[in-house]
Structure 1
């Protein structure tokens, strides 16, 4: 099976915003299918990048690292990155640790 069969991306750019919609599985085989369109979107110098993960059915540690990498790339480019449509399990995984006193 080809990576393109496992993850589809759709990018929409308007005004100062880019939206990247993911559908399928984000793992070692498909991470480049996220990072390449994200790099293309960031090269347009938007103010905002929305990453819609509502269609994501699977995400392994490689996918999590790619999301983390994308966070740093957006920060370095002075772009606000917002992850939308997070599954509750993925939301807990990506949430910063809570400091307890």
Structure 2
């Protein structure tokens, strides 16, 4: 089982995530694991990256939803707090406008 599967299962008990990609799916680039969305063969207007490391999304920063690092803090609710935003994203045809309008609020 992937280390992030338990969190993904909690956030997506209905199986709405069509794909889960982890470190094994990344490209090793200049000493970092980078999520190269171009390898997915999907419309990037409908794909987001949720990650705590900006290096992970240097190829596609406009698709990124940055989050804080998580280290077994049982009081952490960051991803749960983002669920309404993710729901809004799921209802738009092009994620970029909504991401751009809200990214400063997400980062703060």
Same fold (TM over 0.5): no
- Greater helix percent: which structure? 2
- Greater strand percent: which structure? 1
Q: TM-score, normalised by structure 1?
A: 0.31
If asked which structure has higher relative contact order (CA below 8 Å, sep 6+), I would say 1
